[in-house]
Structure 1
Amino acid sequence: MNIKFRLAQLSDAEDLLNIYAPYVKNTDITYEYEVPSIDEFRRRMENVLSKFPYIVAIVDDKIAGYVYASTFRQRVAYNWGLETSIYIMEQFQGNHLGEKLYKILEAILQKQNITNLYASITYPNPQSIMFHTKMGYKKIAHFTKCGYKAGKWLDMIFMEKMINKHCIPARKIIYLPDMPKSEIDEILDMYSSKNR
């Protein structure tokens, strides 16, 4: 199995949307009701990539999943904390692809001087909670019946992970376009592999 990781490109939007769509239609993992249009999805990608990593996993030349970090809250003081999102095609789950995607994301975000990561998870969701716990996240909040989808009220939890020291003064955030491409490529290549 040949696994490669790279930054997402806007031309990937259709493939990534095809991965995301079943989560919208068939699960309560995302609270979105309708699958976004390709133009809206591309706009979301562009917004993330203007500041933060959006990583795709390619298995045997097929995009199998993706991960990205996005703004957690709009106020400036929150800038050092980001929310993570990860989606993987069902047939590629359970082979540590998610772990590699998260490790790549965190490695790049560390270099960007991000300090806190947050995962919002529909509760209960033992698989996601177990995955995030394994990745070093801790539950910090539980929201009761805060979402309504598919005819039921849903709880949501926040899990948090610290990935950098909280320096005073805070280190300046280095946005993705300002990072040396060689640094990003080195991290991506470190996790790519060929297994015969």
Structure 2
Amino acid sequence: MDDRVGTDWLVRDATGDDAAACARIYEPYVRDTVVSFELEPPTAAEVAGRIAAALARHAWLVLEDDGRVVGYAYGSTFNARAAYDWTTSVSVYTEPGRRRTGAGRALYTALLDRLAARGYRTALAGIALPNDASVGLHTAMGFELVGTYRRVGWKLGRWNDVARYQRPLGEPTDDAPPERPGGTVDTAVGEGDTRTSN
């Protein structure tokens, strides 16, 4: 699926062929910033695996400018426990120089629409602080701050805080969610589940 944005921008589903471009975009975030808490940039092959996993259950989109991939966004599993199946974590990355150009907004708009169409109800994002540009983007996209983890990531010689943001996908409702891919909805209430951790 493709979405034309502006005159030369195209937002489309990623393929494995986009892995090298996505790895190139991501590398400086890993190497030089606390935007990502990874410590080693993934290879193109590793990114190809991530793209395949995201496409199977969530979404991974790229933004092309005049035929060249200049950004990407994806959804991923928030938590492996089954009750979280309708919640997704989201991330967006653009190449240097693309801040405040509308690139992140174009990617997120298409991504959030895609995830909502797949049945996801809530999108979550984590932002290592300080990061005014990312806070501004998420706020503009309808995310609200729901809390901050203090001093949870050690990178670049310091402890870093992570702000947690959340937004609904579609209209909030108390109705039972749609079936999860390959499974059924749990409609039982308190029938012997003794697990205590989330």
Q: CA deviation at 1:172?
A: 2.4
1:23 matched to 2:29? The reply is yes
Gaps of at least 5 residues in structure 1 are 176-196
Q: Distance in 1 between matches of 2:25 and 2:46?
A: 15
Counterparts of 2:68 and 2:45, CA distance in 1: 22
Shift of 1:167: 4.2
Match of residue 49 from structure 2: 43
What is the CA deviation profile of residues 118-139 of structure 1, one whole-angstrom value per residue up to 9, with x for unaligned ones? 0100012111111111111001
Following TM superposition, by how much is the alpha carbon of 1:174 offset from its aligned partner in structure 2, in angstroms?
5.8
Residues 113 and 174 in structure 1, CA contact (< 8 A), matched pair in contact too: no
In the TM superposition, 1:117-156 aligns within 5 A as 117-156=123-162
Report if the CA contact (8 A) 2:54-2:60 is conserved. yes
Counterpart of 1:141, as a letter, is G
State the 1:81 CA deviation: 0.6
Q: Counterpart in 2 of 1:169?
A: 176
Give how far 1:141 is off: 1.4
Secondary structure of the corresponding residue to residue 91 of structure 1:
coil
Residue identity in the other structure for 1:70: S
For 2:117 and 2:53, locate their aligned partners in 1 and report how far apart those are by CA, in whole Å. Answer: 20
Q: Which residue of 1 is the match for residue 96 of structure 2?
A: 90
The count of aligned residue pairs is: 175
One-letter amino acid of the structure 2 residue matched with residue 137 of structure 1: F
Q: What root-mean-square deviation, in Å, do the aligned CA atoms of Structure 1 and Structure 2 show?
A: 1.4
Amino acid at match of 1:90: P
Match of 2:187 in 1: none
SS of equivalent residue, structure 2 residue 88:
strand
DSSP 3-state at the match of 1:90 = coil
- Paired residues of 2:99 and 2:133 also in contact (CA < 8 A): no
Give a deviation string over 1:7-26, Cα, whole Å, max 9, x none: 00001101110000010011
Match for 1:54: what amino acid? W
Cα distance in structure 2, aligned partners of 1:36 and 1:7: 20
Q: Which residue number corresponds to residue 63 of structure 2? A: 57
**Greater CA drift, 68-77 or 104-113:** 104-113
State the AA in 1 paired with 2:156: A
SS in 1 for 2:97: helix
**Structure 1 Cα separation of the partners of residues 47 and 12 of structure 2:** 19
Larger Rg: 2
Q: Is the contact made by 1:114 and 1:173 (CA closer than 8 Å) also made in structure 2?
A: no
| Corresponding residue for residue 19 of structure 2 | 13
Give the stretch that moved more between structures: 151-160 or 43-52: 43-52
Find out whether 1:104 has 2:110 as its counterpart.
yes
TM-score by length of 2: 0.84
8 Å contact kept, 2:94–2:104? yes
Structure 2 residues not aligned, in runs of 5+: 1-6, 183-198
Decide whether aligned partners of structure 1 residues 16 and 159 sit closer, same or farther in structure 2, where only a CA change above 3 A counts. same
